Structure 1
Amino acid sequence: MTDEIDLPAEVTLLWGLRETVRRGRKPSLTVADITRAAIEVADAEGLAAVSMARVAAQLGNSTMALYRYVKSKDELLLLMSDAALDGPPDLPDGVDWRTGLTLWARGVLQVLRRHSWSAQIPISGPPIGPNNLWWFDRALHALGDTGLTEEDKVGVVMGLLTFVHGELRLSVDLAKGYAENPDAFGRQYGMALTQVVDAKRFPALSKVVVAGVFEGEIPYDEEAEGEFVLGLYLDGVAAFIERRTARQG
């Protein structure tokens, strides 16, 4: 029989294991209600608009009523970040690991781009919420027939998570910048570089400028950019799997 341990506060919150403080009449709210209202505010007005008072108003309740369930805005953001990840789709039977991880990464980005504010929420630790762990499990499952150790699988998926979250943050900001000033991504950028890039100080970048890479208009395509970098990462994973399996053989 294993000894029971005290779970961290974020675990009890995300998994509905926290005992709600009960005072007065029967509670009319749930943590799910509060989380859903917070997401509605963020989707409509942006993450900066989310506060305990604003969410309480969205629900037609007092701010103090929310504190019976959620202790702080930080806890509210934690709930929102997990809820933003809808459940992952089941990967098709028989797909190879690379196809599986590609579909997985595209799926994460597609879901989180529906709630672009999620890119602004700080990540303070490994996945622990139910939705995050569900996606984590599906990615590990995609690596099931690779011959990698369980530790190696975790390393691969954590690296892929780093890519996904970095891509999300960059794509949200860059897409906004492109919408505001598309010229800054093309010829205007190239002309600026020709004026400030010195071949002695920036020899490699200077070759790119001289080659005319930035001379034409460069439309920003967040999906194309993401696919290119994802492909590079998976190429590295393929080489890693080959080395690992060769040693085992």
Structure 2
Amino acid sequence: MENDTVRLLWGPPAKPTRGPKPALSLERIAAAGVEIADAEGLGAVSMQKVAGLLDYTKMSLYRYVPGKAELVALMVESAVGEPPEAGTPLDWREQLTAWAGYLTESFTRHPWLLDATVGPRVLGPRELTWLERVVAALDGHGLTGPERMDAAVLLAGHVRSIAEQSRATGPGGSPEAELLTILGTLVHRNAERYPALAAAITEEGGRDNALDFGLDRILDGLAALIARRTGTA
């Protein structure tokens, strides 16, 4: 339930009213869930499995966490980590570049976060801080509040897209290299039909850089908008 999730993420958590003195903590429970998800994926996480890893019964776990949805919310808050620090000496562009890099690292360490952070849901303090960093970095640069929020969504969407592709290729894989492997032979065999693709695949330089290329283009667009709004274009 949403109210339970808000209570668990934002606290203070309700203390069990019955049974022995609490021996578990939400932090330990979340860490156990993260351990399972990191090793086996989000689908492998269950109240029973987390309880077993902690050497407790499933029913004892329910004294702390109402169900799996709330458990996953706690896991996300534990695993997402902290965004880079805000403010000087970095300008807004440097701050957002660092932000995107940190978020990429979070998705790389915990690929299941891509599945656990989809759709409307209650955000915890750490997750909300990620949003705060982008909005704050763009404050005072001529953008409206909704535009600063949209910028955060756009940046997160780009990082998520590349992270999804990287996950599909497996550890150490390159989405662009995989695509070229699949398409290269077909394109070259049909170069007369696809001359632009054939030329692009053959050309050297700038490969395996989709994350940075897309990020730079997003930031270039924001810079152009900021310049127009502030009269510095």
Q: Which bracket does the TM-score occupy, shorter chain normalised?
A: 0.7 to 0.9
Higher relative contact order (CA 8 A, sep 6+): 2
Shifted more, 44-53 versus 119-128: the winner is: 119-128
What amino acid is aligned across from residue 210 of structure 1 in structure 2? A
State the shift of 1:195 in Å.
Answer: 5.8
Whether 2:229 is the aligned partner of 1:233: answer no
State the shift of 1:83 in Å.
Answer: 1.4
State the shift of 1:19 in Å.
Answer: 2.2
Distance, in Å, in 2 between the alignment partners of 1:163 and 1:209 is 23
> What is the match of residue 147 of structure 2?
152
Distance, in Å, in 2 between the alignment partners of 1:216 and 1:107 is 31
State the shift of 1:217 in Å.
Answer: 10
State the shift of 1:165 in Å.
Answer: 2.3
Aligned CA RMSD, in angstroms, stands at 3.3
> What is the match of residue 31 of structure 1?
26
Whether 2:227 is the aligned partner of 1:242: answer yes
Conserved in 2, the CA contact under 8 Å of 1:183 and 1:217? no
What amino acid is aligned across from residue 231 of structure 1 in structure 2? D
| Equivalent of 2:196 in 187, 190, 208 | 208
| Equivalent of 1:45 in 18, 40, 45 | 40
Distance, in Å, in 2 between the alignment partners of 1:210 and 1:238 is 33
TM-score (norm 2): 0.83
Q: Give the length in aligned residue pairs.
A: 232
State the shift of 1:36 in Å.
Answer: 0.8
Matches within 5 A, 1:97-116: 97-116=92-111
State the shift of 1:58 in Å.
Answer: 0.8
Distance, in Å, in 1 between the alignment partners of 2:104 and 2:14 is 34
Distance, in Å, in 2 between the alignment partners of 1:123 and 1:65 is 29
State the shift of 1:151 in Å.
Answer: 3.0
Distance, in Å, in 1 between the alignment partners of 2:71 and 2:191 is 46
User: Which consecutive unaligned segments of at least 5 residues does structure 2 have?
Assistant: none
State the shift of 1:29 in Å.
Answer: 1.2
| Equivalent of 1:189 in 158, 183, 192 | 183
What fraction of aligned residue pairs are identical, expressed as a percent?
34
Structure-2 change in CA distance of 1:126 and 1:136 (3 Å):
farther
Conserved in 1, the CA contact under 8 Å of 2:9 and 2:124? yes
Structure-2 change in CA distance of 1:174 and 1:239 (3 Å):
farther
State the shift of 1:10 in Å.
Answer: 2.5
What amino acid is aligned across from residue 211 of structure 2 in structure 1? G
| Equivalent of 1:135 in 130, 138, 141 | 130
Conserved in 2, the CA contact under 8 Å of 1:119 and 1:165? yes
Conserved in 2, the CA contact under 8 Å of 1:101 and 1:142? yes
State the shift of 1:186 in Å.
Answer: 3.2
What amino acid is aligned across from residue 214 of structure 1 in structure 2? I
Task: Give CA deviations for 1:89-140 in whole Å, capped at 9, x if unaligned.
Answer: 3246232211111111111212331112212224222672111112222222
SS at match of 1:146: coil
Structure-2 change in CA distance of 1:167 and 1:188 (3 Å):
closer
TM-score (norm 1): 0.78
Conserved in 2, the CA contact under 8 Å of 1:81 and 1:121? yes
> What is the match of residue 4 of structure 1?
none
What amino acid is aligned across from residue 109 of structure 1 in structure 2? T
